[in-house]
Amino acid sequence: MRVLPPEVAHRIAAGEVIERPASAVKELVENALDAGATRVGVDIEDGGVSLIRVRDDGHGMPPEDAERAVAEHATSKIRTSDDLARVESLGFRGEALHAIGSVSHLTLTTNALGAEGPGFRVRVLAGETLEAGPASHPPGTTVEARDLFLNLPVRRGFLGTVRAEANAVATVVQSLALGRPDVGFFLRSDGRGVLALPAAADLRERVSQVHGLSLARGLVALEDPVVWGLVSPLEVSFPTRRHLHVAVNGRVVDADSFAPAVARAYADLLPKGRHPAAFLRLDLGPGEVDVNVHPAKSAVRLRGGRSAYPLVVGTIRAALSPDRGPGAGVPAGEAGTELIPIGQFPGRLSATVRKRLAEVVHLLQCYLRAGELGMRAAE
């Protein structure tokens, strides 16, 4: 681990990384994942303001590194500006531990995998090192931040209610967990279990743990070497975009920038105001993505001005196309993709009836597209 030279540090999209407990949790959990953890345990009290504790079974740190880790721009993940162009770890700025240590009472206890000694502890209060010395810890790391923003009363005043902050933490953990189905995630808030997500076999199982089996079971798999993942079939939709989750090269990113492509793929297929579920994974070479765009590392840009838009739209479209469905092989014409009027309703329809009819028509269209009409129409 080293302190980045100023010319590298200055090229990093710097910014306030810690805005609220959830942003500290995100950084600490990302560190755990970068350390190769198979299990990450998060405990919070009072929405994370009184306590955030993240415990992992990753490779830990030797004592020298533990001390240096809380210094500004100390990172083991990049060395030069060139490395910045092919970051494969979630962290790379060497900023988070220092930032959290300067606004809280931080205790980092760690033991390097395969080390002889008992372990090591560093304690920092509002940026001042209070203590550094041996302490016992199994292989892995525990970082505890107490009294977040103890020296920034104004920032603390801007926080939401305990409940809002606790919810934001849960959302962050859920989101990171969707990005790494192979890792176990556990969240407790004020001693109460909030999330228990043991290591899952694949993305579908993780989606099932987070959103329930009934959603997970029906999801359609995307088949493209670059864009893969799971999307909802046409008969499943939601009133909000809450079920959109995107990871690029293993990094969970802000899904909003992918929303237009997903919306386009489903444009004429879902009723107005309804949104699909999409769990998208983009695997590009590390040199093809610029992750150093946003302070929270939540945005990425494809190099060379390339856009992922057509690829995302095309891959989802292909997965939703009828020849992939249960009626595979039936040519569109033969499956009868036209609706034939069977009568007319003379009177005015109430809004409720119109809505129900629209749903029925929509479902029929879905079945037609899926080439299932013969089977489902009879039901």
24 or 210, CB closer to ligand ADP? 24
> Nearest approach, Cβ of 180 to ligand ADP (angstroms)?
14
> What backbone torsions phi and psi does residue 77 show, to the nearest 5 degrees?
-95, -30
Among 75, 111, 189, 249, binds ligand ADP (CB under 6 A): 75
> Nearest approach, Cβ of 96 to ligand ADP (angstroms)?
3
Identity at 195, one-letter amino acid code: L
Which of Mg ion, ligand ADP, none binds 165 (CB below 5-8 Å, type-dependent)? none
Among 43, 56, 67, 144, binds ligand ADP (CB under 6 A): 56
Residue among 280, 291, 283 nearest 241 (CA): 280
96 or 366, CB closer to Mg ion? 96
Among 91, 119, 184, 325, binds ligand ADP (CB under 6 A): 91
> Nearest approach, Cβ of 194 to ligand ADP (angstroms)?
21
| Binding of Mg ion by 29 (CB under 5 A) | no
**What is the distance between the alpha carbons of residues 253 and 145, in angstroms, rounded to a whole number?**
25
Kindly write out the interface string for residues 14-53 of this chain, putting x where it contacts ligand ADP by CB under 6 A and - elsewhere. -------------x---xx--x------------------
Among 53, 93, 206, 211, binds ligand ADP (CB under 6 A): 93
| Binding of Mg ion by 58 (CB under 5 A) | no
DSSP, res 320: H
69 or 255, CB closer to ligand ADP? 69
Place of tokens 């039901």: 379
143 or 230, CB closer to Mg ion? 143
Among 61, 207, 247, 278, binds ligand ADP (CB under 6 A): 61
Residues 141-180 that bind ligand ADP (CB under 6 A): 141
> What backbone torsions phi and psi does residue 128 show, to the nearest 5 degrees?
-100, 130
| Binding of Mg ion by 209 (CB under 5 A) | no
Angle at the Cα of 253 from the Cα atoms of 250 and 259, rounded to 5 degrees: 120
| Binding of ligand ADP by 96 (CB under 6 A) | yes
| Binding of ligand ADP by 120 (CB under 6 A) | no
Q: Which of left, alpha, beta for 145 (phi over 0: left; psi -120 to 50: alpha)?
A: beta
93 or 275, CB closer to Mg ion? 93
63 or 91, CB closer to Mg ion? 91
Angle at the Cα of 179 from the Cα atoms of 174 and 185, rounded to 5 degrees: 45
Count of residues binding Mg ion (CB under 5 A)?
A: 3
CA quadruple 87, 104, 29, 3: dihedral, nearest 10: 30
**What is the distance between the alpha carbons of residues 365 and 331, in angstroms, rounded to a whole number?**
16
Please give, one letter per residue, the 3-state secondary structure of 183-237: CEEEEEECCEEEEEECCCCCHHHHHHHHHCHHHHHHCEEECCCCEEEEECCCCCC
Residue nearest to Mg ion (CB): 91
> Nearest approach, Cβ of 65 to Mg ion (angstroms)?
13
Q: What is the DSSP string of 33-48?
A: HHTT-SEEEEEEEGGG
Which of ligand ADP, Mg ion, none binds 32 (CB below 5-8 Å, type-dependent)? ligand ADP
| Residues 6+ positions from 7 with CB-CB distance below 8 Å | 81
Listed ranges 55-63, 85-93, 117-125, 250-258: which one lies at the site for Mg ion (CB under 5 A): 85-93
Residue 319 in tokens: 């997965």
Q: Are 183 and 33 in contact (CB under 8 A)?
A: yes
Task: State the residues that interact with ligand ADP by CB under 6 A.
Answer: 1, 27, 31-32, 35, 56, 58-61, 69, 74-77, 91-98, 141
